[in-house]
Amino acid sequence: MTPGRLAGLAALAALLVVAPRPAASTGGETLAFKTVAGVYRLTFDPATLPEAEMQGLALLSPYLAGAAGLLLAPRVELCLADDPVYLDCDTRRPGARHFAWNARMNLAKGALALRRLGALRHPVELGPVIAYLTRSLAFSLWLEETRLDFYLSWDSDVLRRRYEDVDPAAACGTVLDEVTSASREAKHHLAEYRWHNCVNDVFRARLGEYPLHAWQAFLAAHGISEDLPDPFAAPAR
């Protein structure tokens, strides 16, 4: 499963509700996650994995991790009018009165998700999944932190900061040259899209794909069955 396909599946799973219920045919219990693509189900034996533990582990699924906030950090521009942690959303752009506050709320959400991921107790089979999601989320959080630092200073050198072995100055020099000479509004747009996408592409190529084999090994080791909505199913070959 490529990072692009995983991101697409994450978008389909934007709405999820956990609804445990007995599974009559198996004697186990089923967690049903309602998504915009349909209902995604995991049926498990609560004697093997308690329901509360399974609810947390289920969110590591390649089909739910994105919607659960375990794959990517919220964008700094995110502002939900009905969420009381945000102040007046206004334009959701640098220069708006409460942009910095709202952006920091998004960074705090990403940091909290990263801490929870690190603290999650998990079976050994899920070690590669935890490692993958941790690297993905940590990098995504760094991207958003870097963009906010740039919007607060408009210093293009901020966008040249390295992350591990990713060197934006080397990989994305053309974009950085454009940022340096652009208007302030254009700087925001360039950082939000072209710089972000350029650096992200470099990192994701090195990160590789979600370790689907590890997720499937977890399902098999614990006798868990997975029922996918049609949009999640593997394409016919």
1-46 confidence digits (pLDDT tens)? 444 444 444 444 444 445 555 554 556 899 999 877 889 999 999 9
d(CA 65, CA 137): 10
In a shared domain, residues 32 and 106: yes
Distance CA 168, CA 195 (A): 8
Identity of the amino acid at 159:
L
φ, ψ for residue 155 (rounded to 5)?
-95, 110
Q: Which residues pair with 227 in a beta bridge?
A: 41
Query: Residues 178-232: pLDDT tens digits?
Result: 999 999 999 999 999 999 999 999 999 999 999 999 999 999 999 999 999 877 6
pTM for this predicted structure: 0.87
Is the pLDDT score of 102 beyond 60? yes
Residues 30 and 134 in one domain: yes
Q: How far apart are alpha carbons 133 and 141 in whole angstroms?
A: 12
Residues 54 and 114 grouped into a single domain: yes
Mean of the pLDDT values across residues 84-110? 97
Q: Are residues 65 and 182 in the same domain?
A: no
Total domains present in the chain: 2
Q: Which domain holds residue 171?
A: 154-209
